[in-house]
């Protein structure tokens, strides 16, 4: 599906088969000399075909296009490597570049998952089903790194890079101040809640995410172009809802610990999830992965707030309420 959003900005809906996200939004800004493609899709056939068909309909040639990736997740980033000719730039956030480029990223995340309660068997299944593991970035090529305050100008638009860590450590939004447009990536979505997961002890995703929500709240925005689902207008209202959501989730994680210490995997099994599955045991391994990552993010936030503390037992990290 392709729609014209506003002058020279188009949205191509790229399908994500079998993924609860359903699709990712790729935005194309057309200009007379160069075009800009914001976010792309997974490195898989279905995404590639939808993208090529969309670009053809719009009369956009890859040789005349540059790319901007809001964050390192494979559904936004991976296809760019396959699409972008050598002569095209791929703008990528400096904050995500270090992590995305790590050869041992999956190995480290797997180790951390084990520390947080995953059995080896479930972990193996979860990793192999993970879209980032299966359809991730494969190419080795140069990226054009951007940071807070950098400007990407295209057509009539002056897009300011705004660091919004949380969903990923280097997540980046693009903001046109005079036109009051925000490309929000997965920082702010209207129909679904951006997932906030923690997969390393040096990450503080929920604390960073809440600060990034506050940062964007003060901006004047009339049109939000998100990474998934519907385009929307009321940014401030959505930010308030997302903040309330995380307050509720943190309370739920605390509630789970009421009867004694749990690791994050066990905590996740006692929280509620918006998934059509009667019991935790029946969750697909990949959903157990996302749920546990979110539980860790909330537990570590509570730890930073002094409400929860952790200890090691039997080689795993356990959390308990501070009495």
> Where along the sequence are the contacts to Zn ion (CB under 5 A)?
73, 186
Closer residue to Zn ion in complex, CB, 164/269:
164
Closest CB 273 distance from Zn ion, rounded Å: 18
Closest CB 310 distance from Zn ion, rounded Å: 27
Closest CB 71 distance from Zn ion, rounded Å: 6
Closest CB 167 distance from Zn ion, rounded Å: 6
Closer residue to Zn ion in complex, CB, 13/186:
186
Output DSSP code: residue 52.
H
Query: In the complex, which residue's CB is closest to Zn ion?
Result: 73
Closest CB 44 distance from Zn ion, rounded Å: 16
Closer residue to Zn ion in complex, CB, 146/188:
188
Cβ proximity of 194 and 188 under 8 Å: yes
Report residue 201: phi and psi, to 5°: -70, -20
Cβ proximity of 195 and 167 under 8 Å: yes
Closer residue to Zn ion in complex, CB, 19/158:
19
Closer residue to Zn ion in complex, CB, 110/170:
170
- HEC string of 106-168 equals HHHHHHHHHHCCCCHHHHHHHHHHCHHHHCCCCCCCCCEEECCCCEEEECCEEEEEEECCCCC
d(CA 315, CA 36): 48
């Amino acid at each position: 599906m392709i729609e014209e959003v506003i002058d020279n900005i188009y949205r191509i809906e790229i399908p994500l088969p079998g993924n609860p996200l359903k699709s990712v939004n790729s935005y194309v800004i057309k200009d007379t000399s160069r075009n800009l493609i914001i976010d792309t899709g997974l490195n898989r056939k279905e995404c590639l075909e939808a993208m090529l068909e969309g670009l053809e309909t719009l009369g956009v040639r890859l040789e005349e296009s540059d790319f901007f990736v809001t964050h390192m997740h494979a559904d936004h980033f991976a296809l760019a490597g396959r699409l972008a000719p050598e002569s095209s730039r791929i703008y990528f956030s400096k904050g995500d570049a270090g992590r995305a480029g790590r050869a041992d990223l999956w190995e480290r995340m797997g180790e951390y998952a084990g520390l947080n309660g995953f059995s080896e068997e479930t972990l193996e299944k979860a990793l192999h089903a993970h879209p980032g593991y299966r359809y991730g970035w494969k190419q080795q090529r140069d990226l054009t790194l951007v940071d807070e305050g950098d400007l990407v100008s295209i057509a009539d638009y002056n897009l300011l890079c705004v660091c919004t860590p949380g969903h990923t450590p280097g997540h980046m939004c693009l903001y046109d101040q005079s036109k009051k447009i925000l490309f929000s990536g997965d920082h702010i979505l209207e129909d679904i809640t951006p997932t906030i997961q923690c997969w390393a002890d040096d990450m503080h995703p929920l604390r960073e995410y809440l600060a990034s929500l506050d940062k964007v709240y003060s901006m004047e925005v009339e049109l939000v172009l998100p990474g998934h689902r519907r385009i929307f207008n009321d940014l401030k209202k959505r930010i308030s809802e997302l903040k309330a959501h995380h307050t509720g989730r943190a309370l739920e994680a605390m509630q789970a610990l009421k009867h004694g210490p749990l690791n994050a995997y066990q905590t996740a099994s006692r929280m509620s999830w918006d998934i059509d599955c009667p019991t935790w045991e029946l969750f697909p391994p990949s959903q157990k992965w996302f749920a546990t990552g979110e539980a860790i993010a909330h537990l570590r936030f509570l730890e930073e707030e002094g409400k929860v503390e952790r200890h090691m037992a039997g080689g795993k990290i356990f959390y308990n309420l501070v009495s």
